[in-house]
Amino acid sequence: MVAARIAGQLVLQSQPDIEQFLIDELSAAIATELDRVVLNGSGVSPQPMEILALTPNATGQYNYAQRSPDVTFGGPASWLSILKFEDTIENAQVHNLDETYGWVGANDVKVKWMGVPQLTGYPRYLWEQGDDPFFGRVAGRRAVATDNCQVEK
C-alpha cells in the first residue's frame, strides 16, 4: 500500500513522461520474470516446471508434454545445422500452421548468428532481426533472445 502511495505521488509530482517510464520498467520486469519461470521454473507452486527440464521426444515422435527432440550441432552453427534441426521437427510431425513455435536462444547466440551468413557471399544470415526489436527470424520462423535461456555447464 505504501508503494502504491509513493508511486501515485511520484506520478502527480513529476513530468507526464514518468508514468510511461514506470509502465515500461514494470512491463520489462514482468516480462523478464515470465521468461525466467517458463524456461527455468522450479515446478514448485506457483512456478511452472521449466521447459528445459522436459524430456525430449524421441526422433519421429511428438508428445506435447515433452520438448522437441535434441539436435547436437556438433560445432559452429551453420545453415545446414539449422536445416537439420528443422528436419528433426518436421520428422516429429509438428505442424506450424499458426506460427505457435519458433526459436528461443540466449542473447549471445542471437548476436553471433546475426553475423553468420547462411551461404558464403550471400547477404542473408542465420538470425535476421529486421525492423521488429523483439522478434527476429531463423529459417523463416519467429526467434526471440533472452538472458534467461542459458544452458548450465
Q: How are beta strands 136-138 and 103-105 bridged, if at all? A: unpaired
Residue 137 has pLDDT above 90, yes or no: yes
Quickly tell me which residue has 522450479 as its cell.
42
Q: Among 9-18, 39-48, 122-131, which is the least confidently predicted range?
A: 9-18
Of 111, 106, 91, 93, the closest CA to residue 151 belongs to: 106
Q: What is the DSSP string of 56-111?
A: BPPTT---TTSBPPP----SS--HHHHHHHHHHHHHTT---TT----EEE-HHHHH
Query: Which of the four pLDDT bands, split at 50, 70 and 90, describes residue 126?
Result: very high
Per-residue pLDDT of 75-103, as tens digits, reads 788 898 888 888 877 776 666 666 677 88
Note if the pTM is more than 0.85: no
Per-residue pLDDT of 22-62, as tens digits, reads 788 888 888 878 877 877 777 788 877 777 777 777 766 66
Residue 3 has pLDDT above 60, yes or no: no
Cis status, amide bond into 46, omega within 30 of 0: yes
